[in-house]
Amino acid sequence: MCGIVGAVAQRDVAEILINGLHRLEYRGYDSAGVAVVDPNHELHRVRCLGKVKALDEAVAVKPLIGGTGIAHTRWATHGEPSEANAHPHTSGNFAVVHNGIIENYISLKKKLESKGFEFISETDTEVIAHLFEYYYKGDIMDTMIKVINRVEGSYALGVLCVDYPDQFIAVRKASPMIVGLGDEENFIASDVTAILKHTRDIYYLEDNEIAVS
């Protein structure tokens, strides 16, 4: 299990997210990624195999515009370390970062494939992105409840939906996740060090407690 950072603010959040990932580098990881949603409901994503520095370089060339975003450092449990397996994973309207292991992902994957979902990565996490798209009828809280009722295992999740460019939604079970409350900006992180620069007002999520920014 590695790192998650998320932010919603009145400014572009890519730099906040990538700086947060740098603060989590001490934990070790094999790949990294970041996704933001812009006010036009467009999702922008950058992923890389290797160091977070590669995200800095990619964003310096092509800035990520968007005030809501999620970022991840991965320690592979299912699927080799690669850019295709790096998080965030996407499906339709959604982008997802995940720390932990989805134990029933094989049966979920078979069901989703039978409904026409195509899997691009080798990760257990991709089932979560597709489950969000599968259950979504316009209400992200309702969708989150349906998804966590289907998955077994451990998870800290940060989720973006293009229909809600000013919100992220997060949950945890048996994997750490905190919420940070700032001045008109909010954060999530798997470890407080990732967001201490922005707020000291920290809330520790309980298992299956859902946070919406």
Q: Is 2 in the site for ligand GLU (CB under 6 A)?
A: yes
From CA 212, how far away is CA 164, in angstroms rounded?
A: 11
Of the pair 4, 9, the CB lying nearest ligand GLU is at 4
Contact 168, 160 (CB under 8 A): yes
Nearest distance from C-beta of residue 2 to ligand GLU, angstroms: 4
117: number of CA atoms within 13 Å, CB side? 23
Nearest distance from C-beta of residue 200 to ligand GLU, angstroms: 26
Distances from the Cα of 51 to the Cα of 27, 55, 136, 170, angstroms: 12, 8, 34, 25
87: number of CA atoms within 13 Å, CB side? 38
* Residues within window 107-136 making contact with ligand GLU, judged by CB under 6 A: 123-125
Q: Is 76 in the site for ligand GLU (CB under 6 A)?
A: yes
Nearest distance from C-beta of residue 50 to ligand GLU, angstroms: 15
Of 11-19, 94-102, 128-136, 191-199: span binding ligand GLU (CB under 6 A): 94-102
Q: Which of 77, 82, 167, 208 binds ligand GLU (CB under 6 A)?
A: 77
Nearest distance from C-beta of residue 77 to ligand GLU, angstroms: 4
Residue 152: both structure tokens together = 């077994």
From CA 213, how far away is CA 211, in angstroms rounded?
A: 7
Crossing angle for the helix pair 140-150 and 126-135, to the nearest 10 degrees = 130
Q: Is 12 in the site for ligand GLU (CB under 6 A)?
A: no
Q: Is 143 in the site for ligand GLU (CB under 6 A)?
A: no
Q: Which residues bind ligand GLU (CB under 6 A)?
A: 1-2, 74-79, 98-101, 123-125
